[in-house]
Amino acid sequence: MNDFTSGFWEIYIAVLTVVSIIACAVLLKAQTVKRPRGAKVETTGHVWDEDLREWNNPLPRWWVWLFYITVVFALVYLVLYPGLGVYAGAYKWTSTGQYEAEVARVEERIGPIYAKFTAQDVKTVAADPAARAIGQNLYLNYCAQCHATDARGSRGFPNLADGDWLWGGDPEAIKASIANGRNGVMPPFGPALGAEGTKDAAHYVMSLSGLPSDSIRVARGKEKFEQNCVACHGPAGKGNQQLGAPDLTDKIWLYGAGEPTIIETIANGRNNVMPAWQERLGDAKIHMLAAYVWGLSNRGGTRQAGGPDVVAEGK
């Protein structure tokens, strides 16, 4: 890769660019020699449909001058803006610099607004309509791709508008989830349990939440659950928010209920990752976003036009 980062290539690109532009001008000049008045016009030798000939006339003058203008424009552009290797241009313009300047202007305008709400606790922010509107915009920009625009999630992506939380639903837990991300891992137990053992454990898990199950398999599966699953899900299957282990006794399933899906989960395990947003969003935006998400599943909010229902059952 050193061959592609040496100073030679910068010079090569600059020379090639300038020579190409000048060559265009030279070619244009060579093709636009004026025909003497009264001179006979020759043909190019091309004939179509027996008598349709192509005459060798000069290019229209207006077209020629437009072409020359493009050549001049290209040269002026390369003097003012980057385009010749390491040469930065007279204006020293960069796309990064323009982006940073635009971000700075926006931050200057909205900074006081974020500062106001950041000084308040999450529950107070969640009750403010203006703050909820900002939080909703943040949610739609950064979260809706996975959790859906109504915040009710999909297979493998948690519903944020119900009362079930894998890692805890208090304001600080939500902020921690957004800022630091989460990595939920369930190891595969298929090799250890075997096909029948996996099915027995699945039926016991199904029985915990009232799903139809085989009583004989439930009896056998209970022992396997106690041997392999209680470390994360607890003796009663209520889960552990410190580990992100779900409650198996409710009727909320991240990957879907039913025997085939539960067997698949036990046999093959699951690996779910939520990315960390601290570096990209910063403390202020995370605070606003956490307030919006917390308000989705706690009483006291109001329904927002076009947004999720924020009067869902509380936790």
- Full pLDDT tens readout for the chain, 315 residues: 555 567 788 888 889 999 999 999 998 888 776 666 666 777 777 788 877 887 777 778 888 899 999 999 999 999 999 988 888 899 999 999 999 999 899 889 988 999 999 999 999 999 999 999 999 999 999 999 999 999 999 999 999 999 899 999 999 999 999 999 999 999 999 999 999 999 999 999 999 999 999 999 999 999 999 999 999 999 999 999 999 999 999 989 999 899 999 999 999 999 999 999 999 999 999 999 999 999 999 864 433 333 443 333 232
pLDDT at 41: 72
pLDDT at 307: 41
Q: How many CB atoms lie within 10 A of CB 254?
A: 18
Q: Which residues does residue 52 pair with via DSSP β-bridges, in sequence order?
A: 48
Instruction: Spell 280-307 as b/e; 16+ CB within 10 A means b.
Output: ebeebbbbbbbbbbbbbbbeebeebeeb
pLDDT at 253: 93
CA distance 70 to 68: 5
Residue count of the chain, please give it: 315
- CATH of region 186-273: 1.10.760.10
In this chain, the answer to whether the domains covering 122-181+275-296 and 186-273 adopt an identical fold is yes
For 71, the token pair is 């050549």
Sign of the torsion formed by the C-alpha atoms of 290, 245, 218 and 195:
positive
- CATH of region 122-181+275-296: 1.10.760.10
Q: CB–CB of 288/114 below 8 Å? A: yes
Sequence spans of domains, the chain: 2-32+46-80, 122-181+275-296, 186-273
Q: Which residues does residue 273 pair with via DSSP β-bridges, in sequence order?
A: 183
Q: Which residues does residue 43 pair with via DSSP β-bridges, in sequence order?
A: 55
pLDDT at 101: 93
pTM for this entry: 0.69
pLDDT at 314: 30
DSSP 212: -
pLDDT at 188: 97
Amino acid at site 311: V
Query: Any residues with CB less than 8 A from the CB of 168 and at least 6 apart, and which?
Result: 174, 241
Q: CB–CB of 315/163 below 8 Å? A: yes
Query: Any residues with CB less than 8 A from the CB of 11 and at least 6 apart, and which?
Result: 85
DSSP 240: B
